[in-house]
Amino acid sequence: MGAGRLPPLAALRCFEAAARLESFSRAADALHLTHGAVSRAVRLIEADFGVALFERRSRRVYLTEEGRRLAKAVRDGLDLIATAADELRHQGRAGPVTLSCEPTLLMRWLIPRLSTLHRAHPEIDVHLVAAGGPVTFGGGIDLAIRRSDFPLGPGIRADDLFEERMGPICRADMIDDFFDRSGPTPTLRADAKLLYSQSRPEAWANWSGSTGAKLPTSATRRFEHFYLALQAAAAGLGVAIGSWHMARDDIASGVLAAPAGFTTDGSRYLLLSSEGAPSRVARAREMIGSWMAGIG
């Protein structure tokens, strides 16, 4: 072989296995080859370099000084090739990406549907973080789902997902405890207990203002989180003002009911990202955004 040329890669792999295992037979088993094939590969390299790489004694082989030098070089080279090959195989994939999502939407809408995203885009590895409000990218968060209820900072891209729809929600087998269904459209009873959440304290007032419905002045219950108010409604403690997206599964299964229906509240859900997001995040954004808009 000429200067600067290398032995065949297959022969080098045989040599590396024999050097590592100190046995031609075990190397043959590891590579699914015959003993003769490994022996011929080693002889080919020895003939090319003009040195003995192994000492053969008592059915065992031992590396010579030249063999040890070559074994280290080959092992390091094969490791570099394996690392580069793995990087090339994965460079076209979108994941992993870290997605921040408002907690109640995450629990009641996104997680129950996440398996469909994995089936549609198995190449995306999504890590979920529960959080709401303004988001700063670059600190471990790649994408974020938020409602359009706060101003976005500079350098943030917003892709539209779907509109928010709100309505009164109660336990399905207690509709008549909270609603008057004697008219063409169910209305809240005057003694219906309303469930409020501190995370959306104006939700009832906004719904009343957009629909013209009168709110009962009876006793109310207040909960720290939107999710807890929905759970309280499912437990029959009163009527929560809830999002269609967060209640739809329980409505479909007959746990909750929304006798008065839902109405848009003027806000929308957005998929947020940095304007200068790396290609890995940009690819995931396109796939995830399209999927979410389709199922919203």
What are the residue boundaries of the structural domains of the chain, listed by start? 9-90, 94-296
Query: Locate tokens 């792999």: which residue?
Result: 13
Question: Could you give the 3-state DSSP secondary structure of residue 59?
Answer: coil
Output the CA–CA distances (angstroms, integers) from residue 252 to 53, 113, 143, 155, in the order listed.
72, 15, 29, 40
Question: How big is the CA angle at 14 (ends 11 and 20), to the nearest 5 degrees?
Answer: 140
Q: What per-residue confidence (pLDDT) applies to 91?
A: 56
Q: What per-residue confidence (pLDDT) applies to 50?
A: 92
Instruction: Return d(Cα 82, Cα 284) in angstroms, integer.
Output: 26
Instruction: Return d(Cα 18, Cα 61) in angstroms, integer.
Output: 8
Q: How many CB atoms lie within 10 A of CB 76?
A: 10
CATH for 94-296 (3.40.50.10800, 3.30.450.30, 3.40.190.290, 3.40.50.300): 3.40.190.290
Instruction: Return d(Cα 25, Cα 42) in angstroms, integer.
Output: 13
Task: Report pLDDT digits (tens) over 150-186.
Answer: 888 889 999 999 999 999 999 999 999 999 999 899 9
Side chain identity at residue 270, one-letter code:
L
Domain pair 9-90 / 94-296, same fold = no
In 3-state terms, the chain is what percent helix, strand and coil (to 5)? 45, 25, 30
Q: What per-residue confidence (pLDDT) applies to 135?
A: 87
Instruction: Return d(Cα 215, Cα 237) in angstroms, integer.
Output: 17
- pTM: predicted TM-score of the whole model, two decimal places: 0.65
Q: How confident is the prediction for the chain on average, in pLDDT?
A: 90
Task: Report pLDDT digits (tens) over 94-114.
Answer: 458 899 999 999 999 999 999
Written as one string, the DSSP assignment of 128-179 is EEE--S---TTSS--EEEEES-SPPPTTEEEEEEEEEEEEEEEEGGGHHHHE
Task: Report pLDDT digits (tens) over 20-30.
Answer: 998 999 999 99
Instruction: Return d(Cα 106, Cα 104) in angstroms, integer.
Output: 5
DSSP, res 258:
-
Per-residue pLDDT of the chain (296 residues; tens, 9 = 90+): 444 678 899 999 999 999 999 899 999 999 999 999 999 999 999 999 999 999 988 777 889 999 999 999 999 998 888 877 766 665 555 458 899 999 999 999 999 999 998 898 888 889 999 998 888 887 789 999 999 988 888 899 999 999 999 999 999 999 999 999 998 999 999 999 999 999 889 999 999 999 999 999 877 899 998 999 999 999 999 999 999 999 999 999 999 999 999 999 889 999 999 998 888 888 899 999 999 888 86
Question: What is the CATH architecture of 9-90?
Answer: Orthogonal Bundle (1.10)
